[in-house]
């Protein structure tokens, strides 16, 4: 059974960094990192408003806007905390992204949903490589354990490293929508960056709506089925049990977001 976020708790989200944790609150962000010298550094700020609140009642649009707001935070974090290392901030990962893009173009020469599904799977390679290199998977575990510990009123060390609201649950519906959308686009004779961008935004919107439906129906058999791929990604690849030192970074990020959101 999935427990909803208690009414007296802030709804928090996050993103693992290679050396720390970024946490999103309703109106602010907070990040904590461990520098190469072993120093713990913390920063925070207000999140940009790109229309997230105004679009909350607009299915399809609200998800894309929320994702855009989350991405808009990243340069603010880097400016305030230059020591923060982003998930894709790695030459090996960037090289894999380039190879995946070339591989995807080659696969697309074969038409059909199967080829588009293969392209979607190939596109996952850079993210999976990033998770398995360095400490990113451990800090992904920190993210889940820190937020779950806060929501449950428990010690983060005792919380599960897999979480119901992880972005991994977006993967299956997003890849499915992208494969179907790309086939439909090609059959309609549409080509080029604009068409591909439209399919990308549309698949993201579909995935977010599926995610939101699952949150409204957490105990349904369909929700459990939709979340299974995400949980397996988390369990096998995406998360690793963090050390006490890494959990300390998560606690610092959590304490800072509660401070700036007035949730202490």
pLDDT at 6: 67
Q: 3-state DSSP call for residue 2?
A: coil
Greater confidence (104 vs 164) lies with 164
Among 175, 162, 90, 87, smallest CA distance to 127 is for 87
Greater confidence (259 vs 71) lies with 259
pLDDT for residue 128 is more than 50? yes
pLDDT for residue 133 is more than 80? no
- For residue 55, which phi and psi values (nearest 5 degrees)? -100, 10
Q: What average pLDDT does this structure show over 115-139? A: 63
Angle, vertex CA 6, rays to CA 24 and CA 45, nearest 5 = 20
pLDDT in tens, 46-104: 998 887 677 777 787 887 788 888 889 999 999 999 999 988 765 444 343 343 343 33
pTM of the model: 0.78
Greater confidence (124 vs 178) lies with 178
What is the percentage of the chain residues whose pLDDT exceeds 70?
Answer: 79
Q: What average pLDDT does this structure show over 7-25? A: 90
Q: Any idea where the domains of the chain sit in the sequence?
A: 1-86+243-264, 91-132+162-238
- The strand order across the sheet containing 28-34 reads 13-17, 20-24, 28-34, 40-46
Are the C-beta atoms of 156 and 250 separated by less than 8 Å? yes
Greater confidence (17 vs 176) lies with 17
pLDDT in tens, 181-237: 877 887 888 877 788 788 888 888 888 888 888 888 888 999 999 888 888 888 888
Q: What is the pLDDT of the chain when averaged over all its residues?
A: 80
pLDDT at 156: 93
Among 210, 225, 230, smallest CA distance to 60 is for 210
Q: What average pLDDT does this structure show over 166-188? A: 80
Pick the range with the lowest mean pLDDT from 116-120, 154-158, 173-177.
116-120
Q: Supply the DSSP symbol for 22.
A: E
The length of the chain, given as a count of residues: 264
């Amino acid at each position: 059974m999935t427990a909803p976020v208690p009414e007296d708790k802030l709804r928090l989200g996050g993103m693992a960094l290679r050396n720390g944790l970024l946490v999103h609150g309703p109106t602010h962000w907070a990040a904590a990192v461990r520098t190469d010298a072993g120093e713990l550094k913390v920063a925070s700020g207000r999140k940009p408003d790109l229309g997230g609140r105004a679009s909350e009642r607009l299915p399809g649009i609200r998800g894309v806007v929320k994702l855009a707001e989350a991405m808009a935070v990243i340069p603010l974090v880097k400016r305030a905390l230059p020591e923060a290392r982003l998930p894709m901030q790695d030459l090996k990962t960037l090289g894999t992204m380039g190879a995946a893009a070339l591989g995807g173009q080659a696969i697309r020469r074969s038409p059909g949903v199967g080829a588009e599904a293969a392209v979607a799977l190939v596109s996952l390679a850079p993210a999976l490589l990033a998770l398995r290199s360095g400490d990113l998977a451990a800090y992904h575990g920190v993210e889940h354990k820190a937020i779950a510990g806060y929501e449950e009123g428990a010690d983060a060390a005792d919380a599960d490293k897999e979480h119901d609201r992880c972005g991994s649950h977006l993967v299956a519906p997003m890849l499915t929508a992208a494969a179907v959308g790309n086939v439909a686009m090609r059959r309609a004779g549409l080509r080029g960056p604009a068409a591909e961008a439209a399919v990308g935004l549309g698949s993201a919107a579909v995935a977010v709506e599926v995610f939101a439906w699952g949150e409204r129906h957490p105990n349904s058999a369909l929700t459990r089925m939709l979340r299974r791929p995400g949980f397996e990604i988390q369990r096998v690849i995406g998360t690793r049990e963090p050390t006490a030192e890494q959990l300390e970074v998560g606690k610092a990020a959590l304490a800072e977001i509660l401070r700036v959101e007035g949730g202490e």
